[in-house]
Amino acid sequence: MPKPAAHPMFKETGGAEYGINKKGMEVILKVMCPEKAGINAVRLADLLIVGAPGELVCELGLEVKNKLSSLGINFPVIGGITNEWISYILSAEQYENGGYEASVSFYGPDLGKTIVNGMIKAAIPLIK
């Protein structure tokens, strides 16, 4: 997992909505942001479900599904908010664009890539 950090726009978006100041954000990052997050997958015949430990945006979910399809899985499915909720999981571009979802994505612009790679890695042993 990338190191937890507040998005530069947090104060103007999520922070304003929830009334959270810089000190409050430091507490949230310390208490709510694990250093590791579990990613699991399960296969039932042609169905393979792989979990994301947060709210994965469509673009990244499609990336995982397309990769699994290219490896021969007929019915790849994304399970959201499995094991725990680490935050919104965005692409680097979505994170950099800012907005509400980016402000409550607590691991920076590389989180999406990290989670997608972890999801594919968790699924691979079930394909072979």
> Looking at residue 87, what is its pLDDT?
93
* E strand or H helix at 32: helix 22-32
pLDDT at 22: 84
CA angle 91, 92, 97 (to 5 degrees): 100
Q: Which helix (H) or strand (E) holds 125?
A: none
Please write the tens of the pLDDT for every residue from 4-61. 999 988 888 877 778 888 898 899 899 999 999 999 999 999 999 999 999 999 999 9
> pLDDT per residue over 71-100, tens digit each?
999 999 999 999 999 999 999 999 999 988
* Residue 45: CB atoms within 10 Å: 7
Longest dimension (CA), the chain: 49
**Domain boundaries defined on the chain:** 10-126
Question: Model confidence at 103, in pLDDT bands (50, 70, 90)?
Answer: confident
Q: Taking CA 98 as the corner, what is the angle to CA 94 and CA 100, rounded to the nearest 5 degrees?
A: 105
Q: How confident is the model at residue 128 (pLDDT cuts 50, 70, 90)?
A: confident
